[in-house]
Each structure stands twice: as C-alpha cells, then as structure tokens.
C-alpha cells in the first residue's frame, strides 16, 4: 500500500487574527491535488484553533502544536488532549525540537505525551532530529533512534502516527539537508522500525521531512523514496505553501 503524501504547516508562535484569516483565505482558494494524493494539516497557535477550524476548507485538517502529557487539572497554562478532542481538532504535533531544546522536554516525556494523545483519539505528528553537534559527531542515527525508541516503547498502534524527521540545524536556518541526507536518515529510520517494531509499521508509517522546506527544494526532497511529505515551518505562512502541497504530485507520477 502506497503511503499517502503528507504536508503539515507549523505556524509556530506567529500571527494575528487578521493575518490568520488571510492565510486561511489563501489556502481556501488554492488549487491543490485531491485528498487521495495528499493529506494537508495546518497547525496554528492554540488561540486561533477555533477560528481556523471553523473557516478552513473541509479537505484540510487542523493540528495543535502541543498538548499536556496526561488528563487536565491543576496544570496552569497547559492544554489537554481531551480539550483538543472536545474541539474536534484531529491532530497534534509533539516533541518539536524547539520544545525539546527550550523547554527541556525529554525523550521519555515526549513518548508519554504521544502515548497519551493517541489514547485519547488524537493523531500525532511526532518529531525527531539531531543537532549540528550530534551530526558532526556522527551520532545522528543514535540520537534519532533513541527519540523514536522512547515512542515505540509506549505505542502499540502506529496507524495514527506520522514521524517528522527535522534536523535541528536545518530548522529556520536556511540550511537544508540535501535530498540524499534526508533520504539516508529516513531509510535508516524505516529500517529501525522494521527491526524494532514490525515490517508492517515500517512499510506503512509516513516519515516526513522538516527543516527549511520551501517552494524551490520541495520537489527534489519529495521525490526521495522514503520521504513521505513535509512539516513546513516559515514557508507555511506564505503562499508558497501551496507549491509545497503540489509537490505531492512527484509521488503520483513516480
């Protein structure tokens, strides 16, 4: 079974209500490949989730950028998986490198979050990736495997998981992993899943790439055998996000 191309737009901590309306209008007017070719998910900040959910075209879906690790309660400032489910938000991004680095979210904490969100019925974009120091030390796969292992130890059903490989050194820096570098890690990750989870999970789980993806590099990246789509940062706030969605066509013609 072919893996359906997946394009996620992570808006991060950006936007005003007016700007969000403009982005949604641009997306709503766009001519993009059909849902059987590409799955599109956009992730606005929490405060704009209801606005985007209520105005976005029905063939695109909405994701939160994070959620709490267990049931809600006395956790000031947190948003629980249950609340997202209550708002009919189907997806959540977990373990983004910015949260791992700035908020010190450990592999185990991210693994717990993924397991809890899935148990509540959310679909998860789980992020993994190495820093520049780790890549230069030759430990890319050790790092990515440890991050994935913390998820695999807690998750039995992978049907609602998308893995986003985001080399930290390529996020927002303009440095992009070459298509060959991206393919190499995606291939190794898939082999890791085959060995440590199952051949079926390895074959069906989508592994998407994130890190300075733009309209200019998306087709070549998307054409790699084990690159199943993208998690787009800055470019998801711009009209070129449409071009990135259209890169799904490279798989259809392959």
* Active site members: 96, 166
Q: Which among 58, 88, 66 is positioned nearest to 10, based on CA atoms? A: 66
Asked whether the beta carbons of 31 and 60 are under 8 A apart, the reply is no
> CB-based contacts of 211: which residues, under 8 Å, 6+ apart?
129, 166, 167, 169, 170, 171, 175, 176, 177
Q: Which among 177, 170, 111, 173 is positioned nearest to 146, based on CA atoms? A: 111
Beta-strand relationship, 38-43 and 229-232: unpaired
- DSSP per position, 215-239: TTTHHHHHTSTT--EEEESGGGGST
Q: Which among 71, 118, 77, 74 is positioned nearest to 94, based on CA atoms? A: 118
Residue entry with tokens 């711009």? 238
The token pair that represents 104 in the structure block: 């010190």
Buried-exposed string 202-229: b where 16+ CB fall within 10 A, e elsewhere? beebbbbbbbbbbbebbbbbbebebbbb
């Amino acid at each position: 079974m072919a893996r359906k191309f997946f394009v996620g737009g992570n808006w991060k901590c950006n936007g005003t209500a007016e700007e969000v309306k403009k982005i949604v209008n641009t997306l709503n007017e766009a001519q993009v490949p059909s849902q059987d070719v590409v799955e599109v998910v956009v992730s606005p900040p929490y405060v704009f989730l209801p606005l985007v959910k209520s105005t976005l075209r029905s063939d695109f879906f909405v994701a939160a950028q994070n959620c709490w690790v267990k049931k809600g309660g006395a956790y000031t400032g947190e948003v629980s998986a249950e609340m997202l489910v209550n708002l009919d938000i189907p997806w959540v991004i977990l373990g983004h490198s910015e949260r791992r680095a700035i908020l010190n979210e450990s592999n185990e904490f991210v693994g717990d979050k993924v397991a809890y969100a899935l148990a509540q019925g959310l679909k998860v974009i789980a992020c993994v990736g190495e820093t520049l120091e780790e890549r230069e030390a030759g430990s890319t796969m050790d790092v990515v495997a440890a991050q994935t292992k913390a998820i695999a130890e807690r998750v039995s059903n992978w049907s609602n998981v998308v893995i986003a490989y985001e080399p930290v050194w390529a996020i927002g820096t303009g440095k992009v992993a070459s298509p060959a570098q991206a393919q190499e890690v995606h291939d190794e990750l898939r082999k890791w899943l085959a060995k440590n989870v199952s051949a079926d999970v390895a074959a069906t789980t989508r592994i998407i790439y994130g890190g300075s993806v733009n309209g200019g590099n998306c087709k070549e990246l998307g054409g790699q055998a084990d690159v199943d789509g993208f998690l787009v940062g800055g470019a998801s706030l711009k009209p070129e996000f449409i071009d990135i969605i259209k890169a799904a066509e490279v798989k259809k013609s392959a």
